[in-house]
Structure 1
């Protein structure tokens, strides 16, 4: 019996580790693996509680980077909804089960807080480049904050409660999933408060939020044509060119 390279490699890893451990594979946008290429996007939608806290601090929202924001207010200037849709940059999944382990995006949103008595001394916070780790229920981000926060990459900003939808790449197709029950980590709350200059009432408004929103993502897996397909396409184009020359002659 002949073993394939993949089987030999898997057996070697098993012996070295002393137990079977799954390997993770990351596909960057534009790249491919095992005959598949993947693209995707994710949309962060703010909860009503978060919008209420933003109203308390008169915090303004603005698009950042490659994300596209959708912000609506009522006639009195209060937030009705706010979301940011960001293109995907990479998808990580289990090499054996094909379960999605993580999704990374680029772009986000900037929050700017004015000086409001007992609410905020003023500041700003940009949340961008979200990366969802589906194995530890954590959302990481790059944050860029005022008031001495600076730029922090791969920052554990939120934990999430539930994940639903298609999380196994079974082949070409479209897979939709939803992350709900976002809650700030302890470090996330501290950096959020520092960057926006939150005072007693501002912190109280943020502490009263039990759900910051949802993240809905779409992954599109597409089959990559075999080399023979490209060869046939090339021969077809050559044939068309030759036919045109003969007609011209």
Structure 2
């Protein structure tokens, strides 16, 4: 006996199956993509990592210095102990340009699922002390997976560590603020849409911790100090995209 599905039933089945899968796009900084009837271009933005006070305390224990890795920039302020005259880091942040974006197209919204940046920061300990025997670590080219709430990075370490690409660096505890670019807000002639959100409560992955410790030449005291850091900081992300009505082919 033969069975046949009616054409309408077949079409409905395909629609139902396809409705659970959003279309995904990737937009590089100097490229274009088409989504929801718009041509997207001119991706820009910045991810700014602000070091937590606990992390700064651990870095100060090893007299670690912080510098930017181009094209990222760092902002570091210092304080001086009135009694000992010792200068230490008070606040530190690193701002890196956003160079890629991935998103799911949901209606007229771009639900951002990930973003990549270029550049980063260099942490260096140039002399031995109670916390380190000396070393360095570049943390560059961060990539954020908003769905999995993870941050990946390329780590370039001293003390024979070398380069490790796309290392699972941190887990994100909380994401606050919008993560969807609303294309319905774009004027008829085209315009720019932007979002800003904050990823906070960055906790380090054990494999990344081990690379950090070896690269920086941490002593037992230095490792103990770093283990007390349960929150490495926050990342404030600002992303803008130009959207123009797509021209039919």
Give the TM-score range, shorter chain.
0.7 to 0.9
Match of 1:243 in 2: none
Q: 1:117-196 residue pairs with structure 2 within 5 A?
A: 117-171=129-183, 172-196=192-216
- Partners of 1:194 and 1:13 lie apart in 2 by 52
- Partners of 1:220 and 1:152 lie apart in 2 by 30
- Partners of 1:31 and 1:224 lie apart in 2 by 14
Match of 1:86 in 2: 96
Instruction: Look up the SS of the partner of 1:50 in the other structure.
Output: helix
Match of 1:73 in 2: 78
Instruction: Look up the SS of the partner of 1:147 in the other structure.
Output: coil
Structure 1 residues 23-48: Cα deviation after superposition (integer angstroms, max 9, x where no partner): 42110012222222232111011010
Q: CA shift at 1:98, angstroms?
A: 2.3
Q: CA shift at 1:227, angstroms?
A: 5.6
Instruction: Look up the SS of the partner of 2:87 in the other structure.
Output: coil
Match of 1:51 in 2: 56
Match of 1:215 in 2: 235
Shifted more, 73-82 versus 136-145: the winner is 73-82
Does the 8 A contact of 1:57 with 1:114 survive in 2? no
Match of 1:237 in 2: none
Match of 1:21 in 2: 21
1:197 and 2:217 are equivalent in the alignment: yes
Correspondence for 2:124 among 112, 126, 130: 112
Q: CA shift at 1:12, angstroms?
A: 9.1
Highest Rg: 1 or 2? 1
- Partners of 1:199 and 1:13 lie apart in 2 by 58
Correspondence for 2:69 among 64, 67, 72: 64
- Partners of 2:237 and 2:70 lie apart in 1 by 18
Structure 1 residues 179-209: Cα deviation after superposition (integer angstroms, max 9, x where no partner): 0000110111100001101111100110001
Q: Which has the higher helix share?
A: 1
Point out where structure 2 has 5 or more consecutive residues left out of the alignment: 1-10, 81-85, 184-191
TM-score (norm 2): 0.81
* Cα pair distance change 1:13/1:190, threshold 3 Å: farther
Q: CA shift at 1:118, angstroms?
A: 3.8
Match of 1:36 in 2: 40
- Partners of 1:23 and 1:198 lie apart in 2 by 46
Does the 8 A contact of 1:114 with 1:120 survive in 2? no
Point out where structure 1 has 5 or more consecutive residues left out of the alignment: 1-7, 229-249
- Partners of 1:134 and 1:185 lie apart in 2 by 16
TM-score (norm 1): 0.81
Count of aligned residue pairs for this structure pair: 217
Q: Which has the higher strand share?
A: 2
Does the 8 A contact of 2:62 with 2:130 survive in 1? no
